[in-house]
Homo-oligomer: A and B are copies of this chain.
Amino acid sequence: MGAEPMQAMIDKVASECVAVRLRMLNRIVTNIYDDALRSLDLKVSQMNILVAAAKMGTARHVEVCEHLHLDVSTLSRNVERMKARGWLEVVPDEDGRSQPFRLTPPGRKLLEKAIPAWSEAQQQVKKVLGEGFVVQLNQAMKRVSQGAAAS
C-alpha cells in the first residue's frame, strides 16, 4: 500500500476521502435548512442552540458543548450573538465562574415559529439523502458520542 504511484494516491483521495464528502454534504444540507429559516433571520446552527436550551432549561456552556461536540469558544461567540438578539439570557448562579443561559420568551417564540420551516427542510433533506443515510447517520453519531467520551 505504501508504494503506489503518487497520481494513484491522489485519485484515491479524490474518490474516497470521507471528509470531502461529509463536508460537501454538510454545506448542501446546512444551506437547505438555512434557506427554509431565512425569513426568520435564523440559521440552523443557532436553532440547534435554541433547541438545546429549550431541552435543558438552564444550560451550562460545557454541557451544551459536550452535547453538540462544539468547542467552547465557538459556543461562547454564538451565545453572544444570540444574547444580543434577545433570544437568550444569562441566569444568575452561585458559582461566579459559570454563565448558564436559558431561552428568553422571544427566543421560545422564535423557536416555535421556526419549527414549521424546519419540518419542511427536514422532509426535503430526508428525501434527497435517503432513509438509509439517515439511519447510518444516527448510528454513526451514537458510536462517535460514546467513543469521544473515551478519548
Residue A44, interface by CB 8 Å: yes
B122 touches A129 (CB 8 A): no
Cα A136 to Cα B135 in complex, Å, equals 9
Residue A72, interface by CB 8 Å: no
CB 8 Å contact bits of A16-33 with B (1 = contact, 0 = none): 111111111111111001
Q: Say yes or no: A137-B13 contact (C-beta < 8 A), given A128-B144, A143-B129.
A: no
Q: Classify chain A's interface size.
A: 35 or more
Give, as a whole number of angstroms, the nearest-CB distance from A150 to chain B.
11
A55 closest partner in B (C-beta): B14
A138 closest partner in B (C-beta): B21
Which of A's residues lie within 8 Å of B, judged by CB?
6, 9-11, 13-14, 16-30, 33, 44-45, 47-48, 51-52, 54-55, 68-70, 111-112, 115, 118, 121-122, 125-126, 128-130, 132-141, 143-144, 147-148
